[in-house]
Amino acid sequence: MSSEDGSDSGREAMSWGRGQEEESSSGRLVEGIDNDEVLSPAPLKSVPPTSRSAHKPGVSGVAGGRPLGRREMEVEAGQRTAPVWKCRFFPSEVNEKQLADWHRMYSVPPEIEFIVPGPNDRADDPPLGCVALNQAVLAAGLRLPFPRIVRKFLREWGIAPTQLCPNGWRILLGFLILWDQFWFSRPSVGEFNSLYSFKSDGRRSGWWYASVKPRTGGSVVTQTPDSIKNWKQFWFFVRGPWQFSVNDSGPHVNIPVRYHELRYTSHEPAPEFVERARQVRAVDESFRSSSVLITEENLASARLSSTTSSNSRPSQSGKQMKDISALLKKKGQAGKDKRKAPSEGQPLL
């Protein structure tokens, strides 16, 4: 799998392990998500209103000086031991001008604000009502507000958005786009997990990389960047209705905002899913390249951005995928009425 550490190796080594706290049996954190870990967006009282940049819509000033959260107060009181995530050694290096540029570049709705973290803020423990995000994750294709299907994946894995590395986001979003274009459906977390596993770059690093499993036939999403450098320090806070997408349907799904160990379960995939993946991989790799798949048009068509899909046309790769899917469907149509379940090789549309 491609390396996303790049030139950060020297930075990551800086003071790593210094003052590191070990978990004790009496203070061990319970695996899973605490009730206060998945808060819906709410007013952030700890950010002074005077810190807002009136001349830059959607961008707020430093978020430092906030009161301690419940977890931090419990740690100070000695009631439990907090894990020391590696991200704490990567203070944010963003400024208001960068946030204003990114807010405009990625078409973020004006009601969603980007906030410059304070010197004592950490990506693994954002202020109330906020979530941390990296610019590299937006460059990989994530759009705000978070699509419901993306929130379901993060919720199932139990991780915050910045814990999935940029190429992991490319694989996830490309996977969702392929299934939308090829099969007109939403894949499940279990189906994704049957093709990909996750690797961490060290104990308590907090970051996870998606890696294709052996003997699965290869990745359905191809040609992700070989190296992404200097991305870990360009993080910031997002405040506002970042969890509420116009394409939402069904019960609301919250996501974790604090760092956790990734929860991963994998089962034997169903035969029809294996066949679907095989047929997707039969398409030329150039059409399954992450840079070709993840476009604003394809994101909108797959309902992965707030842009109305009816106002966007799929890319050329998307049209080719739909043509291939239509041919496969026509090929299997002759015997459709003679059987209740599709035979092997026929798409389930």
Please report, for the chain, the start and end positions of each structural domain, with discontinuous segments joined by +: 41-325
Q: How many CA atoms lie within 13 A of 7 on its CB side?
A: 2
pLDDT at 322: 55
- Supply the pLDDT for residue 229: 87
What's residue 11's pLDDT?
A: 40
pTM: 0.71
- Tokens 């036939």 label which residue? 217
| Tens-digit pLDDT string for the chain (349 aa) | 555 554 444 443 333 333 333 333 333 333 333 434 444 443 333 343 333 333 345 676 655 444 445 444 444 444 445 567 888 888 999 999 999 999 999 999 999 999 999 999 999 999 999 999 999 999 999 999 999 999 999 999 999 999 999 999 999 999 999 999 999 999 999 999 999 999 987 767 889 999 999 988 999 999 999 888 889 999 999 999 998 766 666 667 899 999 999 999 888 889 999 999 999 999 999 999 999 999 999 999 999 998 654 444 444 555 555 555 554 444 434 333 333 333 333 333 2
The pLDDT, as a whole number, for residue 39 is 42
* Of 155, 123, 104, 305, the residue nearest 231 (C-alpha): 123
Give pLDDT, residue 75: 44
What is residue 320's predicted lDDT score, i.e. its pLDDT?
A: 55
Predicted local confidence at residue 215, as pLDDT: 87
What per-residue confidence (pLDDT) applies to 248? 61
Phi, psi at residue 107, to the nearest 5°?
50, 50
Contacts of 81 (CB under 8 A, 6+ apart): 21, 22, 23, 24, 27, 28, 29, 75
